[in-house]
């Protein structure tokens, strides 16, 4: 998509940095995370969201792809991530508990909004909607903020 290279580079850089930081956090607290199915599931969901950012960036920077091809790739990515996120959510169970931030995150689920936003962008690209790429902006922001919030909750849960 002409003109979206810089956006893809920024999103890819942010996604890569966040994946790296999440791995550092997981490695520091490997025993605690390994002992808890709930924490493993939440950490994995956060990793999937950050990885989606990376993969969206990869799709966007492939040169000379028609928008319809990009749309199809985004839909496949979103469906695959959604299936994985649903599986991981069932494994993690309910950990919102008494934490107000956790309850908000449960209601406004960044995992769902990220997968849905990527899928909607893909559908819009497939149907030839000219403004379709702009749907990635709120999706990307939700993924970053939601993923960071999930990572924060993961770290604070480890401190309990």
pLDDT by residue (tens digit) across 52-95? 999 999 999 999 999 999 999 999 999 999 999 888 888 777 55
Mean of pLDDT values over 94-115:
64
Q: Residue 97 pLDDT more than 60?
A: no
Tens-digit pLDDT profile for residues 32-56: 888 888 888 888 888 999 999 999 9
138, HSE (Cβ side, Cα atoms, 13 Å) = 9
Cα torsion 29, 34, 38, 43: sign? positive
Which of 57-66, 109-118, 128-137 is predicted with the least confidence, judged by mean pLDDT? 109-118
Taking a C-beta distance cutoff of 8 angstroms, is the pair 29, 75 a contact? no
Write out the DSSP string of the chain: -TT-HHHHHHHHHHHHHHHHHHHHHHHHTHHHHHT-HHHHHHHHHHHHHHHHHHHHHHHHHSTT--HHHHHHHHHHHHHHHHHHHHHHHHHH----TT-HHHHHHHHS-HHHHHHHHHHHHHHHHHTT-TTGGGGHHHHHHHHHHHHHHHHHHHHHHHH-
Taking a C-beta distance cutoff of 8 angstroms, is the pair 30, 114 a contact? no
Q: Residue 15 pLDDT more than 70?
A: yes
Q: Residue 13 pLDDT more than 60?
A: yes
Which of 22-26, 35-39, 101-105 is predicted with the least confidence, judged by mean pLDDT? 101-105
Taking a C-beta distance cutoff of 8 angstroms, is the pair 115, 80 a contact? no
pLDDT recorded at residue 55: 95
């Amino acid at each position: 998509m002409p003109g979206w290279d810089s956006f893809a580079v920024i999103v890819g850089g942010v996604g890569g940095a966040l994946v790296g930081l999440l791995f550092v956090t997981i490695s520091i607290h490997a025993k605690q995370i390994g002992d808890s199915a709930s924490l493993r599931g939440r950490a994995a969901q956060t990793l999937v969201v950050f990885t989606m950012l990376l993969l969206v960036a990869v799709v966007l920077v492939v040169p000379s792809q028609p928008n319809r091809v990009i749309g199809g790739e985004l839909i496949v990515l979103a469906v695959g991530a959604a299936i994985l996120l649903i599986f991981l959510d069932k494994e993690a169970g309910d950990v919102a508990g008494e934490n107000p931030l956790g309850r908000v995150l449960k209601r406004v689920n960044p995992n769902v909004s990220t997968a849905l936003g990527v899928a909607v962008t893909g559908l819009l690209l497939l149907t030839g909607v000219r403004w379709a790429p702009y749907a990635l902006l709120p999706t990307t922001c939700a993924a970053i903020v939601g993923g960071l919030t999930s990572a924060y909750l993961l770290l604070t849960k480890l401190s309990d």
